[in-house]
Structure 1
């Protein structure tokens, strides 16, 4: 099953911020308290109790779901709470669930504008973790001074309750060793038995009612409840990668509730899932070629000194793993994990040295470095435990996107992906197996159409020319659909805002604080 999961699981999170450990904060020590700040702004009929609810703010330590969180959440200038929302907004009197929320209060209350909600992508990534990790970077800026920084874990994810969970830690380890390389009729049938089994475990361990309500449609309603409960008449929002889909969906549903919105690393909401995947493959191929040129300039490059030969060089290293995984400490590196490691490293140039080291190690028959990169992608801890990022990704994707069950279409899509990203081509016939979404037990609730918005204030879309995961043209298209302003960043990485480029950062901060958009056609390098 891993081959199918890896092929789909590339719309990931903000590449740098969530991995950064904060330095000790100089802000005030926060005390636990109960706070009612809402309702604020528009409140839909029948949802008053949610929009005006009290929030019990306290220490964040108990909200940690990963070892990284355990360290970051010790910062006592952060505070956390749980937001109550209906599982099913059509039945608000029914079951309720909890959304994890983290806040870093504005350091200058006298000039405070409101709350800045942020989502780092995925789907499946923790907004709480991203906000906590960004807090030290933002503290000395106008954003830190004038906004409460708010990270929330979308329903089913991270500290939100209940969580989406499909496989155990042991089952994930085993799954990653199965590359599903056999695309014969017998191999295809075996792959589909595995994805049916995965789907059944999702239902058993998560619940069909929860799986039916984890999509973007419900997340944007949660976000509007959170806006009101925080006391904000209008929403100020920062979304990365898949977080741009949340943002554009919110803008379409609640245009009058938007104050300002930055969407960085855009997903084109009007593009079907197959076209997204093929364009993404082409993006990773371009990033691989940039890596190969960089690598050729190093003292030692595992792919050789000729960048034009990097694809066959990578294939010679990776393809033997289909039949013969190599040792990686007390585990083994599979073909799936080797290619996943490459994808992970291509999100940001800061990971290119590790990829080169890992490929050099693979040439010597060892896979420790590449396995570490793949573990990071899958959210595997050193103790063997997994976050639920991949299970959540699958659950959201399977209710957000239309399903494809035509085997001829699937085979052609796989062929096109291999053509777009030849470094990821395993050399075997194209795959026609249906993925887990074909067997998902609940209906699709997403909308693949371009957003139709009326009354939306100006938004800012940031798109990176060499973004491997969310190609540049997707940002161009989203800016047009929202009638917003496009800011171009010339670089090779996934997303750009608050990652150290002063041109991008200054433009974004000015927009969020003063509602002043950068000049039309602005390009940053």
Structure 2
């Protein structure tokens, strides 16, 4: 069904700033399971299954892609109760070279369909696919895996009403959407595809999931790379403040690049271009732009600008959109603001394309993964700090701290991701990353406590592996394919 303009803007406002960086917990801090041999008696059946691979129903899937499901318990403390089917996909290793097993990939979110995204990123991962079967999966609550369903949201206009609707339709599922449960599912997937140890590549929220996996299953962790890494030591307010600073820094970098050549806004340097961007935002806020801008408003404008900062590849489109707005056309900026609608309903079977529920699933997972619940009055005490962190984005990012209003209470136990007995991992941090600021990579390495190495990418955008850096790609591939870690502190 169509998603109303009001709901689209509500969900965008709630999830817009915090992409995969909220402190994560889950249903409970449970005793780790270490595979079939160490599993409790009730879990043994789950660890004895294999995937019945078949054709993928999606038209966009590569011809060689295979799809299936893995059965997991809803509640790992009561494995004889209700179960869920987690959707998985596989791109078999192409060769040449010795097959190394399977490499599970999580592309972030939370709420992103790994099955769909693996199809889209198959070419980018072709080097790893020569020796690994690539495994995509939709984490529980997402797309094809018991998707969060919030019913008809066309009349929903507040965070509390959204939480009420999602609780009404998916209340049975919400307590079991925490990242530790997703990590347990990942271990069942590992066993089902026939590997003794997990090889894993995680981006953004996927980095958090990979760290939680290593914390819970250190003996089953293999070669793990985390790219776009959140800092587990930060609470949601500190995380949001860090993002506000980082997005402001990224906008300044874009403005400098724009001022250097062919900028649609007047200005000789970054400060003058930045002033033009903020001036246009204020004009939209006051309704004083002298042209008919269509559906675009102040919030949409800032949302579009912010979205374009996730990848330097989007900077040319942002230039175009900024110029179009000045010419009276808001369509390009609206496309940047809302590249896809939020999911009002989700279809969880394999009969056809599942309706996207990325944003509602993200909210459900994020809110399960933190105990923090703030009121508007409590937030006002942070106004000055967010305004100082980012005059452009601070207010909007601060508002995401109200995203979990009305959601069932979560927990904070797995902000502690210590994994001293897990193998060393590779953290990849980007100096200009707006969503997971660069210090997060060092913070995660410290929290893991296992001597993991940090590779620095001196560049812009969220994440480094897909950022057209041959240096980063070669370092990551060398570790995953050959086990060769770059020196700690190496830079590209």
2:364 corresponds in structure 1 to 395
- Is the Cα contact below 8 Å between 1:340 and 1:377 reproduced in 2? no
Q: Which of 109, 119, 132 is residue 147 of structure 1 equivalent to?
A: 132
2:404 corresponds in structure 1 to 437
Q: Which of 132, 139, 142 is residue 157 of structure 1 equivalent to?
A: 142
Q: Which has the higher contact order (CA 8 A, sep 6+)?
A: 2
Q: Which of 453, 462, 473 is residue 485 of structure 1 equivalent to?
A: 453
- Is the Cα contact below 8 Å between 1:468 and 1:494 reproduced in 2? yes
- Is the Cα contact below 8 Å between 1:463 and 1:472 reproduced in 2? yes
Q: 1:520 to 1:199 in 2, by over 3 A?
A: closer
1:197 corresponds in structure 2 to 161
SS in 2 for 1:248: helix
Q: Does 1:219 align with 2:161?
A: no
1:83 corresponds in structure 2 to 70
Spell out the pairing of 1:29-428 with structure 2 (5 A cutoff): 42-61=38-57, 64=58, 70-71=59-60, 73=61, 75-108=62-95, 111-139=98-126, 141=127, 143-160=128-145, 162-166=146-150, 168=152, 170=154, 194-205=158-169, 207-302=170-265, 304-322=267-285, 324=287, 332-376=295-339, 378=341, 387-405=356-374, 407-424=376-393
Q: Which structure 1 residue ranges, 5 or more long, are not aligned? A: 15-38, 65-69, 176-193
2:26 corresponds in structure 1 to none
Aligned length: 461
SS in 1 for 2:333: helix
- Is the Cα contact below 8 Å between 1:411 and 1:431 reproduced in 2? no
Deviation string 1:353-398 (CA, Å, 9 cap, x unpaired) is: 11111111112232100111112165689xxx97211111111111
Query: How far has the Cα of 1:80 moved from its partner?
Result: 0.6
- Is the Cα contact below 8 Å between 2:92 and 2:132 reproduced in 1? yes
Distance 1:111 1:168 in 2: 50
Deviation string 1:36-64 (CA, Å, 9 cap, x unpaired) is: xxx76654432111111132211112xx4
Q: 1:461 to 1:44 in 2, by over 3 A?
A: farther
1:521 corresponds in structure 2 to 489
Q: Once superposed, what is the RMSD of the aligned Cα atoms?
A: 3.0
Deviation string 1:48-84 (CA, Å, 9 cap, x unpaired) is: 11111132211112xx4xxxxx42x1x2200011111
Query: How far has the Cα of 1:489 moved from its partner?
Result: 0.5
- Is the Cα contact below 8 Å between 2:343 and 2:359 reproduced in 1? no
Distance 2:39 2:69 in 1: 20
SS in 2 for 1:263: strand
SS in 1 for 2:319: helix
Deviation string 1:180-217 (CA, Å, 9 cap, x unpaired) is: xxxxxxxxxxxxxx222111111233x21111111112
- The farther-off stretch of 303-312 and 253-262 is 303-312
Query: How far has the Cα of 1:462 moved from its partner?
Result: 0.4
Distance 1:213 1:120 in 2: 21
1:447 corresponds in structure 2 to 413
Distance 2:121 2:402 in 1: 35
Q: 1:85 to 1:323 in 2, by over 3 A?
A: farther
- Is the Cα contact below 8 Å between 1:399 and 1:443 reproduced in 2? yes
Q: Does 1:459 align with 2:459?
A: no
SS in 2 for 1:437: coil
Q: TM-score, normalised by structure 1?
A: 0.81
Spell out the pairing of 1:494-513 with structure 2 (5 A cutoff): 494-513=462-481
- Is the Cα contact below 8 Å between 2:292 and 2:328 reproduced in 1? no
- Is the Cα contact below 8 Å between 1:233 and 1:257 reproduced in 2? yes
Distance 2:220 2:179 in 1: 17
- Is the Cα contact below 8 Å between 2:386 and 2:395 reproduced in 1? no
Q: Which structure 2 residue ranges, 5 or more long, are not aligned? A: 1-6, 22-34, 345-353
